[in-house]
Amino acid sequence: MNEFYKEHVGKEFFPNLSQAMLSDVTIGLELVHDDAVKKWRDTLGPTNSATAKQDAPNSIRAAFGVDNTLNACHGSDSQESFQREAALWFGGMPAQRTLKTTAVLNNCSLLLIKPHIVKEGLLG
């Protein structure tokens, strides 16, 4: 956790952030698209869930976030952050991996269902 969020180590909120990230299952996804970092950040909405509810009510964080720490999802804030984070999660940049993506970037869709949604019978 310290390596993943190294820019936040030592900050007042870091212990709560670290505890939240380690409190349950975490799933890593790599989205492949032109300008993916910006598009994903736009889809997520503001980091603070209260701000997201006001400024981006259709965002993921507005719908599923609780506060500034439990805000539903993480998204790299820059291409540089993505490169560092992808290396931690997936073992290097795409060209360096033995597992190659088979994604074709046309006529695609993505569906994410959080495990608790299924467990609580809220699917559909």
74 catalytic per annotation: yes
Residues 8, 33, 74, 116: which is the catalytic one?
A: 74
Do residues 45 and 56 touch, judged by C-beta distance below 8 A? yes
Q: Which of 81, 75, 71, 70 is nearest to 43 (CA)?
A: 75
pLDDT for res 64: 94
Query: Would you kindly state where each structural domain of the chain is located, as residue ranges?
Result: 27-119
pLDDT for res 105: 60
Copy the structure tokens of residue 59.
């965002």
State which CATH number among 3.40.50.620, 2.60.40.3880, 3.40.50.150, 3.30.70.141 fits the domain covering 27-119. 3.30.70.141
- Per-residue pLDDT of 47-68, as tens digits, reads 999 999 999 999 999 999 999 9
Mind giving me the DSSP string for 9-31? TTSTTHHHHHHHHHSS-------
pTM: 0.69
Distances from the Cα of 52 to the Cαs of 57, 61, 66, in angstroms? 6, 6, 10
- Per-residue pLDDT of 108-122, as tens digits, reads 666 777 777 777 887
